[in-house]
């Protein structure tokens, strides 16, 4: 790994960056359980609940765009610190609020932190690891997301019914501050540091470069792919506990079943991490997206419990494996000078889908649309993503990252 005082072991890099992902996932995961509690406590309509998920994604879109651009200007590490701070402070304060308006404002800020951190973290890690291991390491970074969701499901199952949602939010803010302390010892990406010696383009030049002829095909492919994946993920997963309740299960039972489904995310990541260096990025993306689409269709139309849980397990498995590949694939499409900008912009477009997904479900539930109809929309969206990357995506397995 070169000069010891400037580099950090892969394992340490993975664990420090991964902890950030874990807290992000904890927050998003807990939100899906907290809205169930808020609905009764604040007497919220299904449209208002849809807005809680969507405002989070609006913040994520803004954060991914802004912080992605900033990462190419002030460095991956600095942005990494800022986003985590924004997220943990927002989370802590939101435990104190008593009105939906203030809660939504804080969710926007938390979303900005979350949205900025994810593409920047995957960029930092992919720039710090050798080509033949890069895909696997980034997917393993993503697997911390499943760990965060699991902790969220456990906290929600044991803490929310007993001690309330405020305690749950405080629990998610505290460890994030610890991760911030760990990050102080993390060096910036070696590729970014060597890039600094050259004359830097302006922010506007970077944005234009993402759309330049050399990168146009990758950019359009990534934007469609990100939109389809995020739209369906947030539409389905933020509503999972609520969908279970709509299908007639109690709050405690619903939390329990979602916990079981969440466990399947880990093998989803680990198999994707293995296949991504063996079969390539496109193979994993296409296969896992098709698996997601089939599972979503069966989950939406399932009547009996066994099919519901089985399809929910497969949905978690394939969907999160696809996410892992998406984060490995995205930074590989651009050279170092615009990598943060390109990855951030693709993620920002995806987050627009994350705004529309939960809103769509909220309004369709209010219109008494069937769960089958709602999940069929998500099935189609995921299939579009699979087709686009299958036809137009560039394979980046084992390629050196362009400077």
Report the mean per-residue pLDDT for the chain: 86
Angle at 13 between CA 9 and CA 14, to 5 degrees: 115
Q: Name which of 107, 125, 95 is nearest 21 in CA terms.
A: 125
Integer Cα distance of 346 and 368 in angstroms: 33
- Between 116-120, 242-246, 273-277, the lowest mean confidence (pLDDT) is in 242-246
Q: How far is CA 12 from CA 60, 127, 183, 193, in A?
A: 27, 15, 10, 19
The 8-class DSSP code of residue 96 comes to S
Just give the CATH number of 10-183+205-392. Answer: 1.20.1250.20
Sign, CA dihedral 110-60-246-26, equals negative
Q: Are 95 and 166 in contact (CB under 8 A)?
A: yes
Compute the average pLDDT of residues 269-285. 90
Give phi and psi for 285, each to the nearest 5. -60, -50
Residue reference for tokens 């999940």? 375
Q: Residues 87-125: pLDDT tens digits?
A: 888 988 999 999 999 999 999 999 999 889 888 888 888
Q: Residue 373 region, left (φ>0) first, then alpha (ψ -120 to 50), else beta? A: alpha
Locate the domains of the chain by residue range: 10-183+205-392
Q: Residues 377-398: pLDDT tens digits?
A: 999 999 999 999 999 988 877 6
The 8-class DSSP code of residue 331 comes to G
pTM: 0.83
If DSSP codes are grouped into helix, strand and coil, which group holds residue 399? coil
């Amino acid at each position: 790994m070169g000069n010891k005082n400037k580099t950090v072991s892969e394992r340490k890099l993975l664990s420090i960056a991964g902890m950030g992902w874990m807290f992000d996932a904890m927050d998003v995961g807990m939100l899906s359980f907290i809205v169930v509690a808020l609905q009764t406590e604040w007497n919220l309509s299904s449209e208002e609940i849809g807005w809680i998920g969507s405002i989070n994604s609006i913040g994520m879109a803004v954060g991914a765009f802004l912080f992605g651009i900033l990462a190419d200007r002030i460095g991956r590490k600095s942005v990494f610190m800022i986003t985590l701070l924004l997220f943990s402070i927002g989370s802590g304060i939101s435990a104190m609020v008593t009105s939906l308006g203030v809660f939504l404002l804080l969710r926007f800020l938390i979303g900005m932190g979350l949205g900025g951190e994810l593409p920047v973290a995957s960029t930092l890690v992919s720039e710090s690891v050798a080509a033949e291991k890069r895909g696997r390491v980034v997917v393993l970074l993503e697997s911390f997301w499943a760990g965060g969701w699991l902790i969220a499901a456990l906290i929600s199952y044991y803490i929310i019914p007993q001690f309330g949602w405020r305690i749950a939010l405080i629990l998610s803010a505290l460890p994030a501050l610890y991760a911030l302390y760990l990050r102080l010892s993390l060096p910036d990406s070696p590729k970014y540091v060597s890039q600094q010696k050259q004359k830097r383009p302006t922010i506007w030049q970077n944005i234009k470069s993402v759309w330049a002829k050399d990168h146009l095909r990758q950019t359009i492919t990534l934007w469609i792919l990100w939109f389809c994946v995020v739209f369906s993920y947030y539409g389905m997963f933020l509503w999972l506990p609520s969908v279970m309740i709509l299908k007639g299960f109690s709050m405690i039972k619903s939390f329990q079943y979602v916990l079981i489904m969440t466990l399947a995310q880990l093998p989803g990541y680990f198999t994707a991490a293995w296949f991504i260096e063996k079969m390539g990025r496109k193979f994993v993306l296409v296969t896992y997206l098709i698996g997601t689409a089939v599972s979503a269709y069966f989950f939406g139309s399932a009547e009996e419990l066994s099919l519901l849980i089985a399809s929910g397990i497969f949905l978690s498995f394939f969907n999160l494996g696809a996410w892992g590949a998406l984060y490995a694939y995205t930074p590989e499409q651009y050279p170092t000078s615009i990598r943060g900008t390109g990855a951030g912009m693709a993620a920002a477009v995806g987050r627009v889908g994350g705004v529309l997904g939960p809103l769509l479900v909220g309004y369709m539930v209010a219109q008494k649309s069937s769960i089958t109809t709602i999940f069929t929309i998500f099935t189609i969206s995921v299939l579009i993503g699979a087709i686009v990357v299958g036809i137009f995506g560039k394979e980046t397995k084992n390629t050196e990252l362009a400077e």
